[in-house]
């Protein structure tokens, strides 16, 4: 048994404990240094195991329930869940079972349950791989599934859940004049199904491209930045849209409230050789006048579950009301920063209409000088069925099912007449 494999599994169990027990997002755990003691390969493995377990959690629990009289302590339960997912994904039973027994056995609090772990996982190893593909696609929790069904219908949600279960390939945006690895998508992004270590891919060190989901790359294409334009990127971190704007030759101000998150923006600007003014500050207090504004507003992030399966488990929807109010406030303030005849792209990586379509409908009622620019959506790869009644662009994970889906996004281009 590999000590490194056991270390990665132990770290994955810790991450599952934090997500499922403490309601912490995976990104928060990683930012706090949860995997800093591991080498690069083991960090990547621990993250992959965590994500695979969360995606398959419903199936794992159904398999385990057949062999448990009562639910064990969370850490033990998560060890069993991780082991079940690995076994059903084809990992050798000997290595998985022994590793989980060792991890639980070394715990002062739970060591006495190592026999249970051994017995249960050996039963799962015998029956799980055959049963796994016959089980239903894991569903979203009801707090999220119900409003999404109301918005999009049963068939669409089934497609989204399949996309979430499949996970996400790696998409990149290539700098103008450069080349990048992968297969070209209709909207211009490049996609790789099994990319491996990102920093080892050709062109990364040269700064030829950056990681950015195909859906997340569309707001800037809708904005259509021009060389020399003064453009404000509100809520800019982690910086993919800032890089797009800068690559188009715009004079970009990248603003975000988080100084720590802006460090990633600066790193990406340095790696790609692109330039932008990076500012830490509150979007509701920033001042100035701009030719164009990109507002990627804070939101529920429900459109990113295929890449972030921790979200439905770490959240419960209680923050939605506050986020919706904040989005309206940010849109209202951003509108005051836009020059006459300017344009503002409002977008959120959300599947909830209240964070997208409804926000724009209410803004249009409030500001007589605001108009939706439908022509801005006439860009390569955008299908007519994605355009909404009020003139926005609705993207969903169940789109492009044969290509690997896309993030859920809402995008609208708003023109200012005076």
What was the pLDDT predicted at 2? 57
> In whole angstroms, what is the distance from residue 378 CA to residue 380 CA?
7
Which residue in 88, 235, 349, 413 is the catalytic one?
349
Q: Quick one: tokens of 200?
A: 């080892």
Per-residue pLDDT of the chain (418 residues; tens, 9 = 90+): 457 789 999 999 999 999 999 999 999 999 899 999 999 889 999 999 999 999 999 999 999 999 999 999 999 999 999 999 999 999 999 999 999 999 999 998 999 999 999 999 999 999 999 999 999 999 999 999 999 999 999 999 999 999 999 999 999 999 999 999 999 999 999 999 988 888 889 999 999 999 999 999 999 999 999 999 999 999 999 999 999 999 999 999 999 999 989 999 999 999 999 999 999 999 999 999 999 999 999 999 999 999 999 999 999 999 999 999 999 999 999 999 999 999 999 999 999 999 999 999 999 999 999 999 999 999 999 999 999 999 999 999 999 999 999 999 999 999 999 7
Cα Rg of the chain (Å, integer): 23
Q: Phi/psi of residue 172, each to 5°?
A: -135, 155
> In whole angstroms, what is the distance from residue 90 CA to residue 317 CA?
35
What was the pLDDT predicted at 199? 87
What was the pLDDT predicted at 1? 42
Identify the three-state secondary structure at position 72.
coil
Say which residues have a Cβ less than 8 Å from residue 173's Cβ, sequence separation at least 6.
188, 189, 190, 209, 210, 212, 217, 240, 243, 244
Kindly report, residue by residue over 311-359, the tens digit of the pLDDT.
999 999 999 999 999 999 999 999 999 999 999 999 999 999 999 999 9
Q: Which domains does the chain have, with CATH numbers?
A: 3-134 (1.10.940.10), 170-416 (3.40.50.150)
Residue 111: asked if its preceding bond is cis (omega within 30°), the reply is no
Identify the burial level of 139 via C-beta atoms within 10 angstroms of its C-beta, where 0-12 means exposed, 13-18 middle and 19 or more buried: middle
Place of tokens 């918005």: 151
What was the pLDDT predicted at 143? 94
Is residue 299 part of the annotated active site? The answer reads: no
């Amino acid at each position: 048994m590999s000590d490194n494999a056991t270390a990665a599994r132990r770290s994955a169990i810790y991450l599952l404990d934090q997500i499922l027990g403490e309601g912490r997002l995976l990104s928060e755990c990683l930012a706090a240094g949860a995997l800093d003691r591991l080498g690069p390969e083991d960090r990547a493995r621990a993250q992959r195991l965590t994500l695979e377990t969360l995606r398959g959690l419903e199936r794992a629990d159904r398999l385990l329930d057949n062999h448990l009289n009562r639910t064990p302590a969370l850490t033990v339960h998560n060890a069993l869940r991780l082991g079940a997912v690995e076994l059903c994904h084809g990992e050798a039973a000997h290595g998985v079972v022994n590793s989980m027994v060792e991890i639980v056995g070394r715990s002062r609090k739970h060591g006495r349950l190592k026999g249970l772990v051994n017995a249960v996982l050996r039963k799962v190893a015998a029956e799980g791989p055959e049963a796994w593909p016959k089980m239903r696609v894991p569903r979203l929790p009801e707090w999220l599934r119900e409003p999404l069904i109301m918005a999009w219908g049963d068939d669409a949600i089934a497609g989204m859940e399949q996309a979430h279960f499949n996970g996400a390939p790696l998409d990149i945006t290539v700098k103008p004049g450069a080349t990048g690895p992968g297969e070209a998508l209709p909207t211009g992004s490049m996609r790789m199904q099994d990319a491996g270590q990102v920093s080892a891919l050709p062109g990364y060190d040269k700064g030829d491209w950056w990681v950015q989901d195909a859906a997340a790359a569309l707001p800037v294409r809708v904005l259509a930045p021009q060389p020399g334009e003064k453009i404000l990127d509100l809520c800019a971190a982690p910086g993919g849209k800032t890089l797009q704007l800068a690559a188009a030759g715009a004079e970009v101000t990248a603003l975000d409230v988080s100084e720590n998150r802006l460090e990633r923006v600066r790193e990406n600007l340095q790696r790609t050789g692109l330039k932008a003014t990076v500012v830490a500050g509150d979007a509701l207090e920033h001042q100035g006048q701009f030719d164009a504004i990109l507002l990627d507003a804070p939101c529920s992030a429900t459109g990113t579950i295929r890449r972030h399966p921790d979200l439905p488990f770490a959240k419960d929807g209680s923050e939605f009301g506050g986020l919706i109010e904040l989005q309206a406030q940010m849109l209202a303030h951003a509108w005051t920063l836009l020059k006459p005849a300017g344009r503002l792209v409002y977008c959120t990586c959300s599947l909830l209409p209240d964070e997208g379509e409804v926000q724009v409908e209410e803004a249009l009622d409030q500001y007589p000088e605001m108009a939706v620019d439908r022509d801005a959506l006439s860009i390569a790869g955008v299908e007519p069925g994605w355009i909404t009644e009020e003139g926005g662009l609705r993207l969903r994970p169940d789109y492009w099912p044969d290509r690997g889906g896309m993030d859920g996004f809402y995008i609208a281009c708003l023109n200012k007449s005076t």
